[in-house]
Structure 1
């Protein structure tokens, strides 16, 4: 491929790469392709160390420098002009310049770094906040650099002394052999202190060790003082300094890595720097000594749940942690007739609705300032809540939606200031025009939870207001233009009955057994996206008939299914069709929602995200006629029992219950949509295979699977041994052998199941049917149904 360019799809992104056979490490023959493979293979452990940090790259465009091969190396701060426009940036103003650094938020960015021969990735100890401003550091780093006459053994000894001090301070230390000379030590911080304070702590630690071990340790910056000693560099905690990131390659003669290590390894007699191939093996085996430093999000709904009894209040009380998505953030303002009338002002941020109570309501005059009292964070499901909170419960009284819609966030300084433009409903309290508000923290007004809500003098021009959903395009949509799919929560018939008793109205759809697809119609073409943003347009060319059935700018939600000889959805047949393994297959796009309607010749589209579900359904039936390959199955408005009966008669998996007044929340999962299964299907993560016997000798006998628990930790879930054809087993083994590892990825596989098994990295999701779940939490009589390439392991949870 020398000199050529080729397009690749990486994590939903399109990237042009070239010269993959260029040798970047002459001594080992390591090529750009090898570097790219390395960064993609370790993305799972590398990205948590890079996320939200500005990345300075050290680039060797002609390969690393050796005595026999001189080359050019330079540092890059600003994102390259040739970079794709989807790479996000963070801005830092220096004394004389302002730089725009790339942010490595996904694996496609890592691939770009490899494309431009950015072998070393350097970051500071802090991350950007949601407002685009640097936060306080979240880790402390000590750089142990051996002077002339010292080496790794001496660094390891000093690292042990540092560890004792840090652990006495309640800060467990994690070592990284730098891949160059010495060792880096990392310790997690709580983010309460600024870089200057942390630098002072690190400096005092270095000086204390120098005083205790003057013959082994030096804290001075003078190079002349380092001979035979280990220089304990504390200065990299300065906010303007960077350190090579853990898991980054190094620009040495050989492709070494800044490799996280265990303390047992540091104590070993053969300690040395690791090369990238060795790190690949460690990561494949699930070893990440820096896992404790991965950023853990607090449960922001804990206070909300502690104040409400789900058996007594009509409010949504989700039990899981809040989730985030790339969808446009939302707002809701609710009129709340409680003990005292007030308006609840709620903005989506970090997966929750951050909330303030405004006693006199939102101001629409820039001369007015209103008191806003911050309350507990609310779940995103609260954005559609209207009704009565029972007397005796917290916030008892009547709640109605005054206005709701989406927001353009301009600034979010945590605990200090928020500025946002709110795009409400045409008939909402904000008057249908975009409104710019500011929230200013004002503890001087009496309490720390007091803020001021201001209607800004500088308001958006109505003519330039942004739509809340993608514009209808003169050209075709792209996958990136389409919103994420709203998700249903596993539920039970009792959940629906309880809602009906409380006066809620529910409709019921069949749970189709296929791929969830968002479709966009624009410019005489159709684009299809899976629920996790993959382009599925080529999978279903007949969807092009939507161009004749709908005007430009329409966005639909539905399920792509394959029908068997009896006209029933067959998931295995759909998978075979997707892989081209079968001949002619009857495919149908079952449309059940409309998210946007574009009128022919109109200047803008009509978004439907805030329209209640039942009205969206009626609109869908009105505007979308039946096609040869596209259909709108009916929604059942009778009883749940009737809908479940129809589902069983059709041989379907179950039903989806949707509250009639529910709005559409892209990428969000809420209690307004519940999936109720009449047949038991379960998503599982494949973790290994047992060797076959008898007729399956020489191949796979059964698969070992796992399911994450509520905290996300994988737990062994048993074996799947039926439902395969011989050809499927051969294909499955070919797939699994590529991700084989030496040890089980979970620690609770029974010895009997391990004795004749081999294991794989837990990255592939499959679906099985089963008779239930055993008391030990294992699948009962599981039958293979097929791979779920549209699902990620972290999305899997028990559904039975």
Structure 2
């Protein structure tokens, strides 16, 4: 008689049978052991599988032995025996439709273990709240050892890939696959499609192969793989899946796809881990892969690329008749924007409640607060997510007639803008509201759904006024601990706190290239000089100074003289400015600054500091005396800046011209500067966002480019670089824009060739290079960014008369934007180029 137990998991009754059945004969591991493992590992496994369609590999009669493997079968579609409470989503394939389970809870995981679904495979993307497939939120590389190689070689390739990924602004995390190789994961921000991410991963694999042809292969052909490690990039394809972290493997021994640390990968005794080792590790150390799921932004709704076939206001309109209600009822949602507006409306309907609305992807994502907006940090209020509202609703006040949906008086309780700290799909949203009436407050919205069928339950959240408000020196992660302190949340909060301890200031706000015609009313603008240097955010806390590049890299060690900031800044502050090096005439020289950019060793820095001193031109303040000022208008920030920062030989607060663009441009030209920055006087500071409230007006045209190759020189340039071949990102690749052979000084030429030789590759990263330029070209991996001046864009999209200005180590390829204020590049080409920037893990 079959042994049977009925257990209750997450409120669901599950029948467990054959608990003593041996599933792994070589180790005697039973179904009872498997169930126990998945129950104990669920808190760290589920964050990596939630909302992803799960493909299962089942061994109903056990995995067998190494000599006689057991029978396995794949299962994608759910069958009729699937419990009704298992969450599921449908995917339409070319000629059929499959319904997949979502491994979102322990009950589902227990059911899978009961049916011997030992392996769980998921894609790199998630379903959104509406069931629409979202863009991937992680990149994965599968390092698969060929015959004659093993984990040691995979670990070596992992370290090589880590260098490239880190240079792209990503934070790769390793997982020993439980089979033969290693997986590398990196969190993404959801801005790229699966095809775009796969293209980036493919290019990375090819770059590794070009740099290390004796160790790496990127081609799937088995005949090419002996003695090498295959970098399998294809699992980023939207139709492909990867074994989920913490899943068991159906091998002779019960090994696990186990997240590891980089220190472990450097160890001599690196090996795959079995489930008992993994349980012990997690008990001691938590989840090394927690950073993959905690903190990076995720869209609550489908991404803009998916919006064409999805009407986000359909439900809103179905509930309203524009002939009977004064509410706005537009025909469609607004075009997706980067807006960060919010509104809280007091709604005297059948029962008084407040409507909390955040602008996101062209609509107002909305929650109803039956008990109002929380005013104390110790009290959580219910927040019921409702239908998306149009952006026009943000200014609506009036009476909804009796008999209509939501009948009653609506008034605006507060409105303004918000800073987004976290947006985890269906789980958690943390924002800092900058209200016009009630000031600045940090709120957390946390979902309370736990796997039930009820739609109402799925829409129930808590809203929490966080105890730690902006400027008090603490992070946002504690909201979850206070509002929903489950074991899983405590694990995640611990990881958040670790990251918070090493926190960095926000990314600097970015400007848009423009022309004088863009400044319609000079009285609305202030004009500052544009300094020819590198951008830096300075954090002054407790008398200590840290400097960060635009990419968030700590560059303090390269500019030790700027510790003088601690003496001239009144209290703690976070400042935005430009590091410049002056020439003999006292003018900023970007070429001269090149001699300081790459230095990290103390002796090198000390020597360069004597020859090339730098200055810090401070032009904005993000935080002062514990108060965040990103939500304050430019005029107020300038007042705060003047009161916080004193002047010194190395630190200056340059003046601004009020409403006189002509005078500003004339002064900039007379001083030999790069141009003018026009800043809207009522503009807010938007970290990491390229905004039209800041417009840069240049005296000359300049363009950042990625170096894709070089041509040998002749005559006096023999055995040196003659010219560099350049490109800019476009679509899923790089567009060729010409070559540059002038503007190099002798030191640059001496250093350039050894550097480029290390990056050589066999094939070109661009496909449209004229035969004359490609004839003797040496191709390199497209990782280095430089800047050129030029006369104009040609009709074919090439740079005319480019001249080299210097390397831009403060920027990476993902941040290159085609700059063309004159429109000579062509509107279509310009739009395509700007929209093509592959923001993998980095701001544009």
After TM superposition, the score normalised by the length of structure 1 is 0.56
Question: Alignment partner for residue 748 of structure 1, among 768, 787, 801?
Answer: 768
* CA displacement at 1:593 relative to structure 2: 0.7
Q: Does 1:300 align with 2:319?
A: no
Distance 1:781 1:401, change over 3 A: farther
Contact 1:344 1:355 survives alignment (8 Å): no
Q: Does 1:775 align with 2:798?
A: no
Q: Which residue of 2 aligns with 1:207?
A: none
Give the Cα–Cα distance (whole angstroms) in 2 for the partners of residues 508 and 707 of structure 1.
30
Contact 1:331 1:407 survives alignment (8 Å): no
Distance 1:127 1:589, change over 3 A: same
Give the Cα–Cα distance (whole angstroms) in 2 for the partners of residues 237 and 700 of structure 1.
52
Q: Which residue of 2 aligns with 1:213?
A: none
Q: Which residue of 2 aligns with 1:651?
A: 672
Q: Does 1:616 align with 2:642?
A: no
- Any gaps of 5 or more consecutive residues in structure 2? 1-34, 75-90, 105-114, 124-139, 155-180, 183-201, 207-216, 242-297, 314-332, 348-352, 398-409, 476-499, 821-844
Secondary structure of the equivalent of 1:741?
Answer: coil
Q: Which residue of 2 aligns with 1:247?
A: 143
TM alignment of 1:193-212, pairs within 5 A: 194=102
Question: Alignment partner for residue 356 of structure 1, among 357, 366, 372?
Answer: 366
Distance 1:364 1:256, change over 3 A: closer
Q: Does 1:467 align with 2:470?
A: yes
Contact 2:524 2:659 survives alignment (8 Å): no
Q: Does 1:588 align with 2:592?
A: no
* CA displacement at 1:766 relative to structure 2: 0.5
Contact 2:149 2:228 survives alignment (8 Å): no
Give the Cα–Cα distance (whole angstroms) in 2 for the partners of residues 147 and 331 of structure 1.
60
Compare 418-427 and 550-559 and name the one that shifted more.
418-427
Q: Which residue of 1 aligns with 2:543?
A: 524
Q: Which residue of 2 aligns with 1:684?
A: 705
Q: Which residue of 2 aligns with 1:333?
A: 343
Higher relative contact order structure (alpha carbons within 8 Å, sequence separation ≥ 6): 2
Contact 2:146 2:225 survives alignment (8 Å): no
* CA displacement at 1:626 relative to structure 2: 1.2
TM alignment of 1:439-458, pairs within 5 A: none
Give the Cα–Cα distance (whole angstroms) in 2 for the partners of residues 680 and 665 of structure 1.
26
* CA displacement at 1:141 relative to structure 2: 8.6
* CA displacement at 1:717 relative to structure 2: 0.9
Give the Cα–Cα distance (whole angstroms) in 1 for the partners of residues 55 and 675 of structure 2.
48
Question: Alignment partner for residue 507 of structure 1, among 504, 526, 548?
Answer: 526
Distance 1:789 1:367, change over 3 A: closer
Give the Cα–Cα distance (whole angstroms) in 1 for the partners of residues 236 and 380 of structure 2.
51
Contact 1:512 1:569 survives alignment (8 Å): yes
Give the Cα–Cα distance (whole angstroms) in 2 for the partners of residues 657 and 742 of structure 1.
45
Distance 1:584 1:471, change over 3 A: farther
Q: Which residue of 1 aligns with 2:28?
A: none
Give the Cα–Cα distance (whole angstroms) in 2 for the partners of residues 584 and 400 of structure 1.
59
* CA displacement at 1:779 relative to structure 2: 1.1
Q: Which residue of 1 aligns with 2:11?
A: none
Give the Cα–Cα distance (whole angstroms) in 2 for the partners of residues 744 and 587 of structure 1.
38
Distance 1:585 1:95, change over 3 A: closer
Q: Which residue of 1 aligns with 2:624?
A: 597
Give the Cα–Cα distance (whole angstroms) in 2 for the partners of residues 773 and 589 of structure 1.
33
* CA displacement at 1:563 relative to structure 2: 1.0
Question: Alignment partner for residue 693 of structure 1, among 711, 714, 727?
Answer: 714
Deviations 1:412-452 (A, max 9, x none): 453xxx555655458743x76655656789xx9x9999967
Distance 1:713 1:447, change over 3 A: same
Contact 1:402 1:428 survives alignment (8 Å): yes
Secondary structure of the equivalent of 2:772?
Answer: helix
Q: Which residue of 2 aligns with 1:275?
A: 228
Q: Does 1:402 align with 2:415?
A: yes
Question: Alignment partner for residue 715 of structure 1, among 727, 735, 753?
Answer: 735
Q: Which residue of 2 aligns with 1:628?
A: 649
Distance 1:637 1:765, change over 3 A: same
Give the Cα–Cα distance (whole angstroms) in 2 for the partners of residues 191 and 322 of structure 1.
34
Q: Which residue of 2 aligns with 1:736?
A: 756
Q: Which residue of 2 aligns with 1:571?
A: 590
Deviations 1:233-263 (A, max 9, x none): 99634679xxx96225589765566699999
TM alignment of 1:65-104, pairs within 5 A: 95-98=38-41
Contact 1:373 1:449 survives alignment (8 Å): no
Q: Which residue of 1 aligns with 2:810?
A: 790
* CA displacement at 1:771 relative to structure 2: 0.8
Give the Cα–Cα distance (whole angstroms) in 2 for the partners of residues 750 and 190 of structure 1.
47
Give the Cα–Cα distance (whole angstroms) in 1 for the partners of residues 432 and 771 of structure 2.
58
Give the Cα–Cα distance (whole angstroms) in 2 for the partners of residues 356 and 685 of structure 1.
42
Deviations 1:172-220 (A, max 9, x none): 9xxxxxxxxxxxxxxxx99975369xxxxxxxxxxxxxxxxxxxxxxxx
Compare 737-746 and 481-490 and name the one that shifted more.
481-490
Q: Which residue of 2 aligns with 1:674?
A: 695
Distance 1:239 1:754, change over 3 A: closer
Question: Alignment partner for residue 490 of structure 1, among 497, 513, 519?
Answer: 513
Give the Cα–Cα distance (whole angstroms) in 1 for the partners of residues 544 and 235 of structure 2.
47
* CA displacement at 1:637 relative to structure 2: 1.6
The number of equivalent residue pairs is: 548
Contact 2:619 2:653 survives alignment (8 Å): yes
Secondary structure of the equivalent of 1:740?
Answer: coil
Q: Which residue of 2 aligns with 1:664?
A: 685
* CA displacement at 1:169 relative to structure 2: 8.7
Distance 1:689 1:616, change over 3 A: same
Secondary structure of the equivalent of 1:480?
Answer: coil
* CA displacement at 1:728 relative to structure 2: 1.5
TM alignment of 1:56-455, pairs within 5 A: 95-98=38-41, 128=48, 134-137=50-53, 170=93, 194=102, 236-237=119-120, 246-248=142-144, 254=150, 270=223, 272-276=225-229, 279=230, 288-289=233-234, 292-293=237-238, 299-300=303-304, 332-333=342-343, 345-347=356-358, 355-356=365-366, 363-364=373-374, 373-375=386-388, 402-406=415-419, 412-414=424-426, 420=429, 423-425=432-434, 428-429=437-438
Contact 1:371 1:450 survives alignment (8 Å): no
Contact 1:766 1:786 survives alignment (8 Å): yes
After TM superposition, the score normalised by the length of structure 2 is 0.54
Contact 2:344 2:412 survives alignment (8 Å): yes
Deviations 1:101-127 (A, max 9, x none): 6xxxxxxxxxxxxxxxxxxxxxx9x97
Secondary structure of the equivalent of 2:705?
Answer: strand
Contact 2:634 2:680 survives alignment (8 Å): yes
Give the Cα–Cα distance (whole angstroms) in 1 for the partners of residues 462 and 362 of structure 2.
22
Distance 1:493 1:704, change over 3 A: same
Contact 1:688 1:703 survives alignment (8 Å): yes
Give the Cα–Cα distance (whole angstroms) in 1 for the partners of residues 40 and 654 of structure 2.
59
- Any gaps of 5 or more consecutive residues in structure 1? 1-91, 102-123, 152-157, 160-167, 173-188, 197-220, 222-232, 309-316, 324-329, 389-396, 599-604
Contact 1:423 1:468 survives alignment (8 Å): no
Deviations 1:312-350 (A, max 9, x none): xxxxx9999869xxxxxx87336699xxxx98744487x
Q: Does 1:541 align with 2:560?
A: yes
Q: Which residue of 1 aligns with 2:199?
A: none
RMSD of aligned alpha carbons: 5.6
Deviations 1:702-738 (A, max 9, x none): 00010012x3531111101101123322211111111
* CA displacement at 1:272 relative to structure 2: 4.7
Give the Cα–Cα distance (whole angstroms) in 2 for the partners of residues 705 and 249 of structure 1.
35
* CA displacement at 1:540 relative to structure 2: 2.2
Contact 1:507 1:660 survives alignment (8 Å): yes
Q: Which residue of 1 aligns with 2:660?
A: 639
